[in-house]
Amino acid sequence: MPTVPPLAEVEILSQGDEVLEGEVADTNAAEIARAVVDLGLPVGRHACVGDDPAAIAALLFEAAERATEVICTGGLGPTADDHTAAAVAEAFGLALCEHPRALEQVRARYARRGRDLDETGRRQARIPAGARVLENAAGTAPGFVLDRPPARLWCLPGVPSEMRAMLARHVLPALRARYPDLAPARLVRFRCLGLPESRAQLLLGDVARPGVRVGYRAVLPEVQVKLRFAPDLAPGAVERILAETGARLGASVFAVEDGEQVGAIEEVVGRLLLARGQTVAAAESCTAGRLCAALTRLPGSSGYFLEGAVVYANEAKERTCGVPRALIEAHGAVSEAVARALAEGVRARAGSTWGLATTGIAGPGGGTPEKPVGTVHVAVAGPVGTRHLALRLVGDREEVMARAVAAVLGLLREVILAPRPG
Amino acid sequence: MPTVPPLAEVEILSQGDEVLEGEVADTNAAEIARAVVDLGLPVGRHACVGDDPAAIAALLFEAAERATEVICTGGLGPTADDHTAAAVAEAFGLALCEHPRALEQVRARYARRGRDLDETGRRQARIPAGARVLENAAGTAPGFVLDRPPARLWCLPGVPSEMRAMLARHVLPALRARYPDLAPARLVRFRCLGLPESRAQLLLGDVARPGVRVGYRAVLPEVQVKLRFAPDLAPGAVERILAETGARLGASVFAVEDGEQVGAIEEVVGRLLLARGQTVAAAESCTAGRLCAALTRLPGSSGYFLEGAVVYANEAKERTCGVPRALIEAHGAVSEAVARALAEGVRARAGSTWGLATTGIAGPGGGTPEKPVGTVHVAVAGPVGTRHLALRLVGDREEVMARAVAAVLGLLREVILAPRPG
C-alpha cells in the first residue's frame, strides 16, 4: 500500500469532445465531486479535454503530479474516439495489453446481449500494464485503476449510470480504506417541495456561522437545504440548529436526510404505501403520464400501483373517470371540481385505497387571464374524503409538469400520514 | 494588435467552490464552449478550481502558456470569496488598482438599485493594471480583459445571465475580429434508435478520413453519429460520404440534423402526426406513463394525443383495453399476443388513428429464464393492421423503459411513413 501523503487531494478529469465542445454539461464531474466531498476529502481541480490522445496523456500526467487520487471518466468504450487506456499507457510509459479478466467481462457482456465479440468490442479489454481491472456491472467497458505513488488513477466510463455504479462499488470504498481518519463534516439535507430557493435563503439567512456551512440547491421539483457541520462542533449546538432549521422550513420539508438517502418524494410515498399495504391509481390530465412514471420509479411498485388514466381529451375524462360533461362545461377542465371528480373517479374505477388527479395548464400555450399557464389543480381521494390543492406553478412546460407531480405526491404523503376529511 | 499565432486555441476556466464541490454542474463552461465552437475556434481544455487565490493564479498562468484565448468565469463579485482579479494580478505580477471606469460602473449600478456604495461593493472596481474594463449591463461586477501576448485573458462573472450577455457583447465580436478567416466545420448528425454504439462504429469504421471527423455519442435511448467536415472539403465528396453513411446506418436512422435541430423521436413523430391530422392513444404496461409523457413533450400535443391507459395490473388490461383474460393466461402478460391486443384495444377505446402498446419486464425483479429482464413487446395498431416488435433491451429499470418507449415510437414513425399490413 502506498504511503498516505499528508495532504490528500482529488482531481476529477473528464474526456470527450461532447463535453469539451459543450454538447453536454459535465454532470459526471459534479456527481463525483459531491461524493468525494461527502467523504471529507478535498477536491483540488476539475479538468476536461477532448478525444485527443496527446491532450489526455498530458492532462493525466499533470494531475498525477498534483493529486493523490485522480478520477477520470470517459473514453473507455469500443469506438475509434475512445482513447483513455492508450493515453494512460502513453503518459506513464506503460504497455497496453489485452487483459484476460477484462476480456472475460467484455465477452460475457456481449454474450448476455446475444452478440459475438468482434475486434471493435475487443478493444475494450486492452488496459495499461500493471493496472487493476474494475468490473462494470452496468455496461460493456471495464474500468481500471493504476497506482502511481503517491497518486492513484481511476478510469471509469463516461455513461453516467455506469460511472455512478462503479464509483459507489470500487472507488468510494477504496478511498475510505486509504484515508481511514477522514472526519467528514456531518451533512444533513432538508428536502423541500413548494419552496423557492430565494425564500429558503431568506428563512435561513442567519443560520450559517463558524463551523456551519449552509448550501442551497434547486433540484427540480425540490429545493434542498444542506447543512454541513464541522466535526468539532458540539452535538448539542448541532441539534439546536437542526431543530431551528426544521421549524423555519415547516411543512415544505418532506424528508430530512441525515447520513442515509431517502430518495425523492415518489420513493418516500412508495415506501409508505408498501408499509401500509395500501394501493393507488392516478388520473392525469396536464401531467400526461409523468405521475404514473413517478409512481413506478421504485422497483416493486406493482405492489401498490394499480392503474393510471391519461385523460388528455375531455371525452377521455368522461369515459374513463366518469367526470360528468356538465361538470367540465360548468367549471372548465382545469378546476377544483374536475380535479376532485377525476381523483374520485379513478379511485372507484381501480378499487384502490387512494385516487390521485392532476389537471392544469402546462403551457406554453393555453393560458388565459383567469387561468394563466402554470394554473394546476391536484386532488387526492381516499377513504375519508378528497383533499385538493390549487397551485400557480412557475417554469417551462416540463417544469410545471414536474412540480405538479411533486405537489400531488406531497399531498398524498400528508394524507397518508394524517388522513382527515377533505 | 498582437500577432495571431498559427494555432488559435481557447481554454475555459471556472472558479468557485459550488462548481468544484459539485453543487452545480458547470453549465457556463458548456455554453461558452458551444459559442466558441460555433465560431469555428477549437477549444483545448476546460478547468475549474475553487475559491482559492493561489489555485486560481496557478491555473490562469498555465492556461495563458497554452492557449491564445482564455475565458474565465466567476470570482468577480464583492464578497470575501471573490478572488479572480487579485489572482490575475498575482499570476502576472501586476498591481491591483481601483479603475475609474470600473468604479463609475459599480457606483451607477448601486445607485440604480437605490444603494450606497460601501467598501465591500467598491472591491469590484479593483482590476489588474493594464486590463481593459468590460461593462456588465446585467449585474454589478464589471469584467475585464488582459493582453498577455500571444494569449488574451477574459474574466467574466459567474452568474449565467451576466456571463451570457458579456460573452455575446464583448468576447465573441473580439474573437471574430482577431480570427477573421474562421470557417466553421459543417456538422451533420445522424440520430439512430436500436443501434448499439459499437455496431455504429463497425458500420462506419472507414468513413473517417482527412477532413472528416466522425464522433459517436450514446444519448439514451439514441446513438448519435456526428460527422464534421473540414471547410475545404469538396461539396461533392461531402454529399457522397453523407449518402454512404445514411445507407450503412439504414433504418435505424430516424432523423438527420444538418444545421437545424430536429429533436428526439417523440418530436419527429409528433410533427408527422400533426402534419397528417392523425391521432394516437397508448396502452402502457412496463413503461407505466413514460410513453404518454414522451407523446406530450411537444407543446401542442393535444392536437394528436387523445388518451393513455397505464394498465399495470392484469385486471386493468382487461377492464380498460378489453384484453381477454384467457389471452393473458395463455400467453402471459408479456407476450406478442397481449401487446397486439393492448394496441388494438386502446385504439378502439379512443377512436384514434393509431394505438400504441408496451408490455415487458423492466426489472430489476420479475425476470425468468424464458423471459429475462429486458424482454419487451411493443405494438402499433392502425388502419391497415397491427405491427409488433419483440425486444431484448439492456440497462437498468429506467433505461429499459426509455428504450421501450423509443422503440414503439420508432415503429410508429415507420408505419406512418409506410403503412403496410402487420
| CA A200 vs CA A210, A228, A239, A410, B167: distances in Å | 20, 16, 19, 18, 31
The three cell numbers locating residue A398: 416540463
Nearest C-alpha of chain B: how many angstroms from A132? 24
Q: Min CA distance, B100 vs chain A (Å)?
A: 33
The reported pTM is: 0.81
- Asked if the Cβ–Cβ distance from A140 to B198 is below 8 Å, we say yes
Distance in Å, alpha carbon of A299 to nearest chain B alpha carbon: 7
Contacts with A18 from chain B: Cβ below 8 Å: 215, 217
Ramachandran angles phi, psi of A374, nearest 5°: 100, -10
**pLDDT on residue A7:** 59
Average pLDDT for A23-43: 93
Contact B310 A309 (CB under 8 A): yes
How much is the pLDDT for A184? 77
ipTM of the predicted assembly exceeds 0.85: no
A299 vs B contacts (CB less than 8 Å) = 363-365, 397
Interface test with A, best of B201, B202, B305, B359 (most A CBs within 10 A): B201
pLDDT at res. A94: 96
Residues of A in contact with B31 (CB under 8 A): 22
What's the CA angle centered on B253, arms B250 and B258, to 5 degrees? Answer: 120
Compute the Cα dihedral for B212, B218, B219, B222 and give only its sign.
Answer: positive
DSSP B191-248: EEES--HHHHHHHHTTT-BTTEEEEEEEETTEEEEEEEE-TTS-HHHHHHHHHHHHHH
Tens-binned pLDDT, residue by residue, of chain B (422 aa):
444 444 679 999 999 988 999 988 999 999 999 899 988 899 999 999 998 999 999 999 999 999 999 999 999 987 777 899 999 999 999 999 999 999 999 999 888 877 788 887 888 999 999 999 999 988 888 999 999 998 999 999 998 889 999 999 999 999 999 998 887 788 899 999 999 888 998 999 888 888 898 888 888 899 999 898 988 899 999 999 999 999 999 999 999 999 788 899 999 999 999 999 999 999 999 999 999 999 999 999 999 999 999 999 999 999 999 999 999 999 999 999 999 999 999 999 999 999 999 999 999 999 999 999 999 999 999 999 999 999 999 889 999 999 999 999 999 999 999 877 76
Question: Could you say which of A349, A365, A398 has the minimum Cβ distance to residue B300?
Answer: A365
Q: Do A316 and B293 touch (CB under 8 A)?
A: no
| CA–centroid distance for B327 within its chain | 43
Residue B30: which of A22, A50, A302 has the nearest Cβ? Answer: A22
Q: Name the DSSP class of A209.
A: B
Contact between chains at B26 and A21 (C-beta distance less than 8 A): no
**A375-382 and A354-360 as β-strands: parallel, antiparallel, unpaired?**
antiparallel
B211 contacts B243 by C-beta, under 8 angstroms: no
Q: DSSP letters of A381-393? A: EETTEEEEEEEE-
With bands split at pLDDT 50, 70 and 90, how would you rate the model's confidence at A81? confident
Of A48, A293, A398, the CB nearest to B288: A293
Asked if pLDDT for residue A74 goes beyond 90, the answer is: yes
Contact A46 B43 (CB under 8 A): no
CB–CB contact A25 B21 (8 Å):
no
**Do the Cβ atoms of B309 and A319 come within 8 Å?**
no
pLDDT value of position A143: 96
Q: Report the pLDDT value the prediction gives residue B19, as an integer from 0 to 100.
A: 93
Residue A71 has pLDDT above 70, yes or no: yes
Select, from the ranges A41-50, A176-185, A230-239, the one with the highest average predicted confidence (pLDDT).
A41-50
C-beta atoms of A316 and B18 within 8 A: no
Q: Do B307 and A295 touch (CB under 8 A)?
A: no
Of all residues in chain A, what percent carry a pLDDT higher than 90?
Answer: 76
Q: pLDDT, tens digit, for every residue of A198-224?
A: 788 889 888 888 889 888 777 889 989
Which helix (H) or strand (E) segment is A109 a member of?
A: helix A100-112
Interchain contact, B22 vs A44, CB within 8 Å: no
String of b and e for A182-203 (b: at least 16 CB within 10 Å)? eeebbbbbbbbbbbeeeebeeb
Give mean pLDDT, residues A230-256: 94
Report the gap between the CA of B259 and the closest CA in chain A (Å): 14
pLDDT of residue A259: 78
Q: Is the dihedral of CA B55, B56, B58, B62 positive or negative?
A: positive
State the pLDDT at residue A209.
Answer: 86
Give me the pLDDT at residue A165, please: 95
Distances from the Cα of A308 to the Cα of A280, A299, A324, A408, B241, angstroms: 9, 17, 19, 14, 47
Supply the pLDDT for residue A187.
Answer: 86
Residue A45: closest CA among B382, B45, B272, B417: B45
Contact between residue B141 and residue B124 where contact means Cβ atoms under 8 Å apart: yes
Q: What are phi and psi of B283, to 5 degrees?
A: -115, 120
Angle between helices A314-321 and A336-350 (to 10 degrees): 40
Q: Note the Cα B384 to chain centre separation in Å.
A: 37
Tell me which residue in B19, B45, B217 faces A47 most closely, judged by beta carbons: B45
Q: Report how far Cα B89 is from the mean position of its chain's Cα atoms.
A: 36
Residue B3: per-residue pLDDT: 45
Cis? peptide before A157, omega within 30° of 0: no
Helix B314-321 vs helix B336-350: crossing angle, to nearest 10: 40
Chain B interface test: which of A20, A310, A323 (most B C-beta within 10 Å): A310
∠ CA(A136), CA(A264), CA(A398), 5° rounding?
A: 95
User: Which residue in chain A is spatially nearest to B294 when comparing CA positions?
Assistant: A289
Identify the burial level of A119 via C-beta atoms within 10 angstroms of its C-beta, where 0-12 means exposed, 13-18 middle and 19 or more buried: exposed
Residue A79 has pLDDT above 90, yes or no: no
Phi-psi region of B22 (alpha: psi -120 to 50; beta: other; left: phi over 0): left
Look up residue A112 and give its three cell numbers.
448476455
A13, A71, A79, A274, best to mutate vs chain B, most B CBs in 10 Å: A79
- A275-304: average pLDDT: 97
Q: Give the nearest partner residue to A30 out of B25, B47, B306, using CB atoms.
A: B25
